[in-house]
Structure 1
Amino acid sequence: MIQRRALANGAQLVRASTKATQTTRFSPFDSPFLQSISQEPPPSPWTTQQVDEARHLLRAILRECTYLPDPLARDYIRLYALSSFRKYQGKEKPTRILVERRDEKIKQARKSLLQLRGANAGEESQLMKVLFLTYGRTGRRKKELTAPLITPNATQAADGQNNSQETAETGETAARDEERLASSKAKNHGHADPLSDVLKALLRSQARAQPPEIVRKNPNPHAVALKIPEMNSWGRPMPLKRVANMTRKWYAQMLGHVLPPLPEEEWEVLKARSLGKISFEGVIPRRARARTTADSVPPRKSTALLQALSIKSDYRPPPLLDAASGSRLTPRTMRRCWAKVFAQTPNMTWNSETGHWDIEWGVTILKQHEIERSAASQGST
């Protein structure tokens, strides 16, 4: 009798559970992913005024890129500006960082726009900044060109085998202090050099060629090899942490000095432009501005309105730079600017016969060209 009642109660529980599962079936609209879509999006950290200003700044920057006198700079600066603006759309950065940096980034965009306008107007300092960015003497492209010269473990070589040695020694007891001191003393002389062979060859060649130090200082030829003293100022073996810090500092200095080579095609084109073999195409004429509602005002009324405003206000707008005429961007000016960039640009080719890198610097080619040119002028006279 008791068994029958237990079985009946169990059957009732099974029926109740099946009814509950039938009534509470899973609906695809109950998914947390769809619920997050149905909810309202989070408020944007950018105000409407800031969004409009950023959009206008981007359009103005892209418009100025089309007037740059260098063909390679037009494409590179355009992609550089687009990637910089896309970084801060709220997809890759947290909202807190966007709020902290939005004013700074808008200010930086205004500054970049003024620099591009100055470069198109013929200001040599602004134009050189654009050319240095384009040809990888400064900025993001310099890092991209330097990356193939660095070995895969070069970023960790600042700590080198010192950190791995310290990790291996964490489980050792204090009774092996003498062995640890002996190993650290050996590492002061046998530490791993973080510089690759190609990077060493480039730095030594740069120290010999001595290109103009406009953006980077040339390395000291005696400092290319890392030298760490065996003993510290207390006459004790150099600590492992001290060796790691000295190696890291020296490695950062060497990377700061290096001027990476350009791809061979770009290097040849830059060489031809700096030597005058490829002539300057001239300044791109600016397109006519779009007509606004103010343009539809009759001339007499607009002139009277401007006169009335000028009487009531002491403000006088600064004169616009005459960028359309191109009087300041002459072929000679552009050739001189390209030569400054080319003087700091090397070309590296591997010589299989000698087993060494053949490095040719632009400054050496320019000096040789000047000597040949002066000799030819003296021979003609």
Structure 2
Amino acid sequence: MPLQIPHPNTPLHLYRHLLREASYLPPLCRPWIASRIQTRYRDCQHTKDPKHYVKEAHHYLRYLRSANTGHVDRLLHLCYLATGRVGKRRRQLATLFLSKRPPENTASLESDAPSNDRPSKGPSKTPVPTLHEKSSPEAAEEGRGPDWLDNWAVDKLHAVAASQVEHQGGDWPQAMRRSYDPKRALPTENAFGRPFPKKVARNKLKRHYASVLKQLLPPLPQGEWDRLRDLANGAEGTENEMTVPPRRVVARPMSEEPRDRDPEDWDWGWDWVQYVTKPVRAVERKNSRKMKSLTGEPDQDPRGQGRPIGVRLMRSRKIRRGIYGRVFELANTMTQNPRSGKWTVTWGSSERKLSKPTATDLGIFQGVDNSGKLVAPA
């Protein structure tokens, strides 16, 4: 069992164990998880007090070991992280595909730049114009300074949010509310029936789009979406990516425990002090069905407490349908119509193909046609 490997003591040894566990993950999430481990280790390598990071790394090592033993929910969460459905890569994809594009040529740059002849609608004391302010004509027209909302393409946000509301399910990791349109979600007047000041209205609009971005599932690159589609549908050439690499043999000590020693000096592996000073439920919690996949503790009772909760045998069929197919249903890609300029969002859907019947199964249906009616004997 891989979970019976003891936890390392030094940070470098812990780093090697994390990379070793990442090498046993499915090919869909293996590169991203390995790169995140390397990045996080290099960021925390020269900290003065690394106790917090070491404790956190031990937690993620147990998490990876539990996923490699077949815990479906944890393995699915790692695939969500790798495909940008949750976590850091989701924010990176949102910035890459949902932000405004820079001007492609000089003509578009000059058309976007605000004119100096246009009178300012804001107060007389305005901040010094910057390069970012010159590339934001909306801020100049409204007489305000630029903010972070000027960097996002609102039409793309509306297209992805509307499509996500239509296709999302109740068990999605990010569920979009139906009130994504600010014209319907935000009030236009205060409690006294007066319109909001421009700054207050702008702050409400920014808070609304901040909540929309937290719930949004950004589109994937077209090549990555096509590869995920082939994995979910079991296309030709993806058989090698449906299997998890075998785990290497655990190293064992060169010599066994000598039996000529005094029995009082033997390590029986049972800490009776824990049972005296703590409740039994707290001591044996790590042996429960819920925690067994994380701790890897064997049952002291020969009858055992049963199979760990949430752990399945990850064969190629389970990986394709339960992992790749589930991730592909949450993956989307976005294209723009060159004539109308509208954005079209396409979501993935896995194809469930029926397996071919065997000769024994075909014998059950002898003497009937495709509709189930008896065939008259010839």
Compute the TM-score of the two structures, normalised by the length of structure 1.
Answer: 0.63
Is 1:76 aligned with 2:62? Answer: no
In the alignment, the residues of structure 2 paired with residue 281 and residue 306 of structure 1 have an alpha-carbon distance, to the nearest angstrom, of 51
CA contact (8 A) 2:225 2:333 kept: yes
CA contact (8 A) 1:212 1:343 kept: no
- Residue 126 and residue 230 in structure 1: after superposition, are their counterparts in 2 closer, same or farther (change >3 A)? closer
1:138 alignment partner in structure 2: 86
Q: Secondary structure at the match of 1:285?
A: coil
Is 1:351 aligned with 2:351? Answer: no
Alignment match of 1:288 (pick from 221, 230, 249) = 249
Is 1:122 aligned with 2:70? Answer: yes
1:318 alignment partner in structure 2: 297
Q: Secondary structure at the match of 1:289?
A: coil
Q: Which has the higher contact order (CA 8 A, sep 6+)?
A: 2
Alignment match of 2:18 (pick from 38, 57, 61) = 61
1:103 alignment partner in structure 2: 51
1:87 alignment partner in structure 2: 43
Instruction: Tell me which structure has the larger Cα radius of gyration.
Output: 1
In the alignment, the residues of structure 1 paired with residue 168 and residue 312 of structure 2 have an alpha-carbon distance, to the nearest angstrom, of 34
- Residue 282 and residue 311 in structure 1: after superposition, are their counterparts in 2 closer, same or farther (change >3 A)? closer
In the alignment, the residues of structure 1 paired with residue 232 and residue 263 of structure 2 have an alpha-carbon distance, to the nearest angstrom, of 50
Unmatched segments (≥5 aa) in structure 1: 1-50, 155-160, 172-185
Is 1:215 aligned with 2:173? Answer: yes
In the alignment, the residues of structure 1 paired with residue 160 and residue 227 of structure 2 have an alpha-carbon distance, to the nearest angstrom, of 21
Q: Secondary structure at the match of 1:347?
A: strand
1:261 alignment partner in structure 2: 219
| 246-255 vs 327-336, greater mean Cα deviation | 327-336
- Residue 301 and residue 196 in structure 1: after superposition, are their counterparts in 2 closer, same or farther (change >3 A)? farther
- Residue 125 and residue 311 in structure 1: after superposition, are their counterparts in 2 closer, same or farther (change >3 A)? closer
- Residue 111 and residue 288 in structure 1: after superposition, are their counterparts in 2 closer, same or farther (change >3 A)? same
- Residue 355 and residue 380 in structure 1: after superposition, are their counterparts in 2 closer, same or farther (change >3 A)? farther
Question: What is the alpha-carbon root mean square deviation over aligned residues?
Answer: 4.1
1:232 alignment partner in structure 2: 190
Shift of residue 290, structure 1, vs aligned partner: 3.7
Shift of residue 373, structure 1, vs aligned partner: 5.9
- Residue 142 and residue 222 in structure 1: after superposition, are their counterparts in 2 closer, same or farther (change >3 A)? closer
Question: Which one has a larger percent helix, Structure 1 or Structure 2?
Answer: 1
String of CA shifts for 1:58-93, please: whole Å, max 9, x gaps: 11100001111x213221111111101111233xxx
1:331 alignment partner in structure 2: 316
String of CA shifts for 1:203-231, please: whole Å, max 9, x gaps: 11112222454210123166365764442
In the alignment, the residues of structure 1 paired with residue 12 and residue 228 of structure 2 have an alpha-carbon distance, to the nearest angstrom, of 34
1:151 alignment partner in structure 2: 99
- Residue 349 and residue 118 in structure 1: after superposition, are their counterparts in 2 closer, same or farther (change >3 A)? same
Shift of residue 264, structure 1, vs aligned partner: 1.7
Q: Which amino acid aligns with 2:35?
A: L
Shift of residue 252, structure 1, vs aligned partner: 0.7
Matched length: 285
| 268-277 vs 313-322, greater mean Cα deviation | 313-322
- Residue 143 and residue 59 in structure 1: after superposition, are their counterparts in 2 closer, same or farther (change >3 A)? same
In the alignment, the residues of structure 2 paired with residue 236 and residue 80 of structure 1 have an alpha-carbon distance, to the nearest angstrom, of 51
1:205 alignment partner in structure 2: 163
Q: Secondary structure at the match of 2:344?
A: strand
2:199 alignment partner in structure 1: 241
User: Residues 362-377 of structure 1: matches in 2 within 5 Å?
Assistant: 362=348, 365-366=349-350, 369-370=351-352
Q: Secondary structure at the match of 1:214?
A: coil
CA contact (8 A) 1:204 1:221 kept: no
- Residue 60 and residue 145 in structure 1: after superposition, are their counterparts in 2 closer, same or farther (change >3 A)? same
Compute the TM-score of the two structures, normalised by the length of structure 2.
Answer: 0.63
CA contact (8 A) 2:67 2:74 kept: yes
Unmatched segments (≥5 aa) in structure 2: 1-7, 103-113, 115-119, 127-140, 275-283, 285-295, 300-305, 356-368, 373-378
Query: What percent of counterpart residues are identical?
Result: 28
Is 1:341 aligned with 2:327? Answer: yes
2:232 alignment partner in structure 1: 274
